[in-house]
A and B are shown apart, each in its own frame.
Chain A
Amino acid sequence: VISADFWRLGQLRPRDEVRFERVAMERAVELLREQERWLCGLL
C-alpha cells in the first residue's frame, strides 16, 4: 500500500470494503508530495 494511503488504513473499520488498484511508483511519490504539501498548509 502506498504511503499516501496509510492514513486510510488507520481509518478502516471492521466490515468496511476495500479494493486494490495498482499505481506506478512515480504516481505514489507524487501523491505523497501532494499530501505533504497539504500538511505544510496547516502551519
Chain B
Amino acid sequence: VNRIRVVSPGLLTTVQDLGRFGWAHFGVSASGAADALALRAGNLLVGNAEGAAALEMTLAGGAFEFEAPAVIALTGSDFGAGLPLWSAVEVRAGETVRCGLTRSGARAYLAVRGGLAAERAMGSASVHVATGVGGRPLQKGDMLPVGEEAVRRPRAGQAAPPAGERAGALRVTPSAQAEWFGDELYCGAYLVTEESDRMGLRLRGAAIPSPAGHMPTEGVPLGAIQAPPDGQPIILFVEH
C-alpha cells in the first residue's frame, strides 16, 4: 500500500470528498469540498470516480512525500507547486510535492490515483472542521494511505480550467423569501471578511435592511444568502 507522509500540513488541509448527505435531519452538516468542481476534475484526471477522497488545501499548501510511485493531479488555485495544474502528473517514490502560498484563489486540491483510503463517517471521508466529524485537519507526520479505487486510465495532457473568472459577479436566482427584501444586494460591491470560513462567507458592504413583520423560518441550502439583523450578508457554505 502506498502512503503519503505529511511533511508539513499547510495552513488548513483536510481530506474531502463530495460530502455527507442525508444526515441534515440529525443536524449533521454535509461538509465536502469547498470547490467540488476542482475535486471532481482532479479525480477524473487521475482516473478515479469523481467523488474519491482527496486533499483540500487552504491559502497556503503543505508538503507531501510519496512512499511509492503515484499519479496525482493538482486542481483549483495555483499554490506554486511547480507542477502543471489540471493535469495527471507522475510522482516518483520518495518524491515530495511542495505547495506554497496561493497565487490565485483560496483553495487547491491534490487528488491521487486510487483515492485516499481515509476512514469514513456516515458514508463520507469529508472532515467537518468545525465539529471534527470525519476527522481533523492534517498534522505534520500524518500518514495517509492511498486506495486502489481507480476506475480508468489517467487522462493524457493538460485540461483547460473551468470557464469563468474567480472575480466578477456571482450569479443568483431569487428564493421564495426574496420578495421580503429590496435591491440593495445588487447595488454595490461586498468585501469577503476574515471571519469567513467553510461554514459561511461573511461579507461587508451596503447593509440589507431587515424586513418588517415576521418571516417564516425556512431551511437554507448551500449557497443561500442570509441577511442577519445587522444587514451584512452571509453566504451559507459547505459546513453550514
Contact = CB atoms under 8 A, between A and B. Distances in A.
Interface in A6-40: 6-25, 27-28, 31, 34-35, 38-39
B120 interface: no
B74 interface: no
A5 B170 contact: yes
Interface residues of B, number: 54
Contact of B223 (A1, A13, A35): A1
Interface in B153-193: 155, 159-160, 162-164, 166-174, 185-186, 188-193
Given A11-B77, A12-B201, A35-B162, A1 B171 contact: yes
Contacts of A4: 164, 171
B104 A14 contact: no
Contacts of A22: 171-174, 186
Contact of A42 (B33, B45, B186, B237): B45
Given A1-B223, A7-B35, A12-B196, A42 B173 contact: no
B37 A2 contact: no
A25 to B, nearest CB: 5
Given A10-B33, A13-B106, A17-B191, A3 B223 contact: yes
Contact of A34 (B34, B163, B172, B225): B163
B192 A2 contact: no
Given A6-B222, A10-B105, A11-B105, 15 more contacts: A1-B170, A2-B172, A3-B223, A7-B162, A8-B164, A9-B201, A9-B223, A12-B106, A12-B196, A13-B105, A19-B186, A21-B186, A22-B186, A25-B173, A34-B163
20 contacts: A1-B170, A1-B171, A2-B171, A9-B34, A9-B170, A9-B237, A13-B105, A13-B106, A14-B194, A15-B192, A20-B172, A24-B173, A25-B173, A31-B171, A38-B160, A41-B159, A42-B44, A42-B45, A43-B44, A43-B152
- A-B pairs, top 7 by smallest CB distance, nearest first, are A11-B105, A10-B35, A10-B34, A21-B169, A7-B37, A1-B223, A42-B44
